[in-house]
Amino acid sequence: MEILVCIKRVPETAEAELKIGPTGKEIVRENLVFDTNESDNYALEEALLLKEKSGGSITLISVGPQEADEVIRMGLAKGADRAIRITDAKLAGSDGYATARTIAQAVGDLKYDIILCGCIASDDGFSQVGPTLAEILGIPHAVYVTKLLVNGNVAKVHRELEGGLIEVLEIKLPAVLALQTGINEPRYASMIGIKRAGSKEVKVFDCSGIGLSENDTGEPGSPTSVERLYVPPKTRQAEIIKGNADEVTAKLAQIIKEKGVLQ
Amino acid sequence: MSANREILVLAEHRRGELRDVTFEMLTLGKGLAEKSGCKLSAILLADKPEHLAGKLVGWAETVYAIADARFANFNSELYQLALVDFIKKQKPALTLIGHTAFGVDLAPALATGLAMPMASDCVGFNFDGSNLRVTRTVYGGKLNCDTRVRPAAQYLATVRPAVFPPEAASYTGRVEAVTSVVTDEVTYRRFLEYVEAAVGDVDITKSDIVIGIGRGIKESKNMAIVEQLAKTMGGVLACSRPVVDAGWLPKERQVGSSGKTVKPKLYIAIGISGAFQHIAGMKSAQTIIAINKDPNAPIFAEAHYGIIDDLFKVVPILKEKIAALKGS
């Protein structure tokens, strides 16, 4: 089975303090640690599991700067076979739609049975690329996938709904599946895998290399554009308890006691 | 080709019930309609729409109802076929869809199919009938992002749930039946069944004290620290999504939009940054305490009390202080 996996290199911001750059439209990226987008990492693992079960090969696709090779190499080290990276200054300002359009163009004539991607990018959070890509390619899709069983050209898929309810459906392949985190347990790359990754092929294209008009990507190809980033205005803010660890815990314990919930 | 001065809200329902986000969008839509001089409508796709449409007329001037047995369960591909046709004919200036498991599966492909600009997961709107600006959140809610949508005759946007508080019914609208145009069977995607959420040995919704653990706990072995705190306090351990993904707590302990909604007397968020999906599940707790080392963590905007420090330093001491208070 031929599997395409879309991966994105993103800054890890869950525990980092963010600074807004001078344009007011992007964050300062220096001093941030970058990694594979979390749900994309699950998509890669699901591809590796599929390949182990039914054979075939995995092609990674990433849209981003040269530094995206960090996450591409990690994917190759884990067992992906080859990669395509689309890198071009003209991609700057791409929103979810333009990114999907770019990936669709890169998919072009590639052979594939299934396309796996994450359900959300931890940076811009569009949750838009997977289903948009499917629509452009003219194939079905499902989002928030938490279980995947492939049987011939049909996939039985679990989708996670609100409240933990699961929707079970059947989808004809090829399809785009946007996977939710937790669907599997992503592996670590082995030393031998990391060594082998060096000899695997990463094809790099610019927009013209995949036949993508500059009107179809970057800012000109994006229906939405960032005007301004800012720290959300605080409509409410917790009363911050100040002091050393001993003092703050003593005060907090007292507050908890006064709430009368301790049995 | 100009659009109609109409804002259209896609009614979301599941198992015969309208979802909360429907009324949130209609309330949002009412404000936008009044400001922009548009009329407010809802579109309902259902196998038997009468009952739900009857409810919706309190929230919109017109409720378009498309009846089709195949709409009994949500199928984004079927919905898309029906909505592409309807939106092309009706030409609403703005269509709103919930940023839910339903909307995220439907809206991006629908907008692409309609060649319409789409803004996703919006928490703020500025719409004058022809120009659309939205506010989104990025980097897990740490920053807001004012976003301009390319000028177009028609727009589509998905609306984050639990952001726009629903108001009471204020319209006496009418139902307009629309004939379903879906003739072909959709064979490439089929609904099979629902599987209920897992039930575990502990029901976190029943406890007065819920201690929520997040990504900040870092490793499985660190869970002992918070387990001891929960035990000392007589509370239950719950968590945000990353803890379930890592397998440190079972799914039924997850608090948030895809997990459980809890309303305890006391909720202590430990090492939880406060993604909106988590907030949706705990914001109704009577007292919320957050412990996080990042002063800009969105959780501090929801909490009543906060400690900005390393949880590994603070939590063991807090446990001792509580134990001492209980003993006194």
Q: Which residues of chain B does CATH 3.40.50.620 include?
A: 4-178
Taking only the tens place, the pLDDT of each residue in B142-160 is: 999 999 999 999 999 999 9
Determine whether the interchain pair B139/A13 forms a contact, defined as Cβ–Cβ distance below 8 Å.
yes
Cα end-to-end span (Å), chain A: 58
Residue matched to tokens 């879906």:
B182
Interface A-B: count of C-beta contacts within 8 A = 281
Round to whole Å and give the CA distance between B107 and B226. 40
Determine whether the interchain pair B146/A252 forms a contact, defined as Cβ–Cβ distance below 8 Å.
no
- Identify the CA nearest to B181 among candidates B91, B87, B94, B58: B87
Q: Is the dihedral of CA B7, B13, B18, B23 positive or negative?
A: negative
**A59 membership: H or E segment, kind and range:** strand A57-63
The overall average pLDDT reported for chain A is 96
- Identify the CA nearest to A220 among candidates A95, A104, A109: A95
Distance from CA of B91 to the nearest CA of A (A): 18
Q: Does pLDDT of B19 surpass 90?
A: yes
Taking the CA atoms of residue B180, residue B183, residue B185 and residue B186 in that order, the dihedral angle to the nearest 10 degrees is -60
pLDDT for B1: 54
The overall average pLDDT reported for chain B is 95
Q: Which of A15, A166, A256 sits opposite B195 (nearest CB)?
A: A166
**B280 membership: H or E segment, kind and range:** helix B276-282
Quote the radius of gyration of chain A (alpha carbons, Å): 21
pLDDT for A15: 79
Round to whole Å and give the CA distance between B127 and B117. 14
Q: Does pLDDT of B2 surpass 80?
A: no
Q: Coil, strand, or helix at residue B10?
A: strand
Give CB contacts under 8 A, 24+ apart, made by B124-131: B125/B28, B125/B32, B125/B157, B127/B7, B127/B32, B127/B35, B127/B36, B127/B94, B127/B155, B128/B35, B128/B36, B129/B5, B129/B36, B129/B37, B129/B38, B129/B93, B130/B93
Q: Does pLDDT of B184 surpass 80?
A: no
Look up the pTM and report it. 0.95
CATH T-level fold of B204-327: Rossmann fold (3.40.50)
Q: Does pLDDT of B208 surpass 70?
A: yes
Residue B190 structure tokens:
């089929």
Comparing alpha-carbon positions, the chain A residue that sits nearest to B142 is A231
Span B36-58, average pLDDT:
97
Contact B97/B134 with Cβ under 8 angstroms?
Answer: no
Taking only the tens place, the pLDDT of each residue in A32-58 is: 999 999 999 999 999 999 999 999 999
A132 close to B (CB below 8 A): yes
Residue A126 structure tokens:
């569009």
Provide the chain B residues 275-294 that lie in CB contact (below 8 A) with chain A. Answer: 286-290, 293-294
pLDDT for B328: 65
Q: Does pLDDT of B247 surpass 60?
A: yes
Q: Which residues of chain B does CATH 3.40.50.1220 include?
A: 204-327
Span B290-305, average pLDDT:
94
pLDDT for A241: 97
- Identify the CA nearest to B293 among candidates B272, B279, B323, B265: B272
CATH architecture of structural domain B4-178? 3-Layer(aba) Sandwich (3.40)
Residue A139 structure tokens:
């194939």
pLDDT for A220: 97
Contact B109/A141 with Cβ under 8 angstroms?
Answer: yes
Taking only the tens place, the pLDDT of each residue in B87-111 is: 999 999 999 999 999 999 999 999 9
Residue A209 structure tokens:
């290399």
The pLDDT > 90 percentage for chain B reads 92
Q: For the residues of B106-172, what is the DSSP string, one character each?
A: HHHHHHHHHT--EEEEEEEEEE-SS-EEEEEEEGGGTEEEEEEEPP-S-EEEEE-TTSSPPPPP---
